[in-house]
Amino acid sequence: MEKITGLIVAPFTPFSENNEVNFNALAPYASMLANSGLKGVFVNGSSGEGYMLTTEERLLLTEKWVEVVPEDFKVIVHVGSCCLKDSVVMAKHAETVGAWGIGAMAPPFPKIGRIEELVEYCETIAAAAPSLPFYYYHIPYFNGVNFSMLDLLEAVDGRIPNFAGIKFTFEGMYDYHQCCLYKGGKFDMLHGQDETILNSLVQGHTKGGICGTANYNGTTLVEIVEAYQNGDIETARERQDFAQAVINVIARYRGNIVAGKRIMKLIGLDLGLNRVPFRNMTKVEEAAMNDELNAIGFFERCNKF
């Protein structure tokens, strides 16, 4: 099964003024992401407010992303849901419309309490789209499911034929490394924490990742990977430090999903507000964040439309 090389971005879902999905924003959005050196999108995930979308909206977004992306730009569809039947519908649909792959995080409710339950959840979804690679999305901060991912790999190995790997969005670099080493690197371990891209590269096994802040800071994140691959550790470290400086700013304004989405407006593409229950930024906060980003030279180094 193909392993992903390079960085995939987890895009925001564009909304209009009346809080409906704005499909017209997707084409220029996709073009900007590709021009920033990114290799694909992981749609309808946490950055995309997937759990705030209806199933029908998620299906339509999948279709539109597949339509607008450039050739060879991967579309991976997050199909996780609190309703497993909906996940099956979305997985089948992704396969039908030509998505490259699918993925799913564990549902936030009810909380999965055993590895076997998680395996059954993944198995059901993966079987609905047998021709597509399936990635488990490990993000315990959102759903409280914090098993050893090495245990998960051992449990799915030989049981789920199209289990490709894990989108690993967690601080547990020891567990991540153990997963990378499993059976000589059998599974695709996509690094999912933008703060530690360089760490994962130094461990020597990371080939690809899925990033949230790449929506607006993708150029810098790509440069971390390129500099490291070229043996330029000082440049890679400087780019990682800059990426952290940007993250430190958004952390003061409710993080990537809220602050990051408003940054898109500041760099040229207004993707609208977040859906309830997210608490949107005020105009005062937006102006303050703009000043902080200016102070670190963000707008000279960010993605460009």
Looking at residue 195, the DSSP 8-state letter turns out to be G
Q: How far is CA 191 from CA 46, 60, 210, 229, in A?
A: 15, 28, 6, 16
Q: How far apart are alpha carbons 95 and 201 in whole angstroms?
A: 31
Q: CA 47, 193, 223, 37: dihedral to nearest 10 degrees?
A: -30
CA geometry: angle at 104 spanning 210 and 248, to 5°? 40
Told to judge if 39 belongs to the known catalytic residues of this protein, a careful annotator would answer: no
Which of 39, 64, 74, 167 is the catalytic position?
167
Told to judge if 137 belongs to the known catalytic residues of this protein, a careful annotator would answer: yes
Q: How far apart are alpha carbons 21 and 65 in whole angstroms?
A: 13
Handedness of CA 276, 27, 296, 290 (dihedral sign): negative
Q: State the amino acid at position 124 in one-letter form.
A: T
Which of 137, 176, 216, 228 is the catalytic position?
137
Q: Which residues are catalytically annotated?
A: 137, 167
